[in-house]
């Protein structure tokens, strides 16, 4: 079921959003929802090219393994 939220925008941001929505012939709500979801997906996942680069970088993989082992053994601390 769809939920309603309230979003406070300053005048300049509102003009930018409404202009972009009109240009794409979409509602303001649809534009904001789509943009927010795209941003979240971009941050959460890597594409195939990025993953191939990560897997080819032995130094990075070694540091990731070490960090993972340290996290499992509760070595170190989080910095705020």
Confirm whether pTM is higher than 0.85. Answer: no
pLDDT for the residue 31: 95
Q: CB of 60 within 8 A of CB of 54? A: yes
Distance (Å, whole) CA 62 – CA 47:
21
Nearest residue to 27 (alpha-carbon basis) of 2, 46, 54, 63: 2
Q: Give the mean pLDDT of 71-79.
A: 77
pLDDT for the residue 2: 86
* Stated length of the chain: 80
pLDDT digits (tens, 9 = 90+) for 44-72: 888 888 889 999 999 999 999 998 888 88
């Amino acid at each position: 079921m769809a939920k309603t939220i309230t979003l406070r925008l300053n005048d300049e941001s509102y003009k930018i959003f409404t202009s972009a929505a009109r240009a794409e012939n979409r509602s303001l709500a649809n534009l904001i929802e789509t943009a927010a979801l795209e941003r979240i997906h971009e941050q959460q996942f890597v594409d195939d090219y990025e993953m191939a680069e990560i897997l080819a970088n032995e130094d990075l993989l070694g540091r990731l393994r070490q960090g993972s082992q340290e996290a499992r053994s509760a070595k170190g601390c989080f910095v705020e």
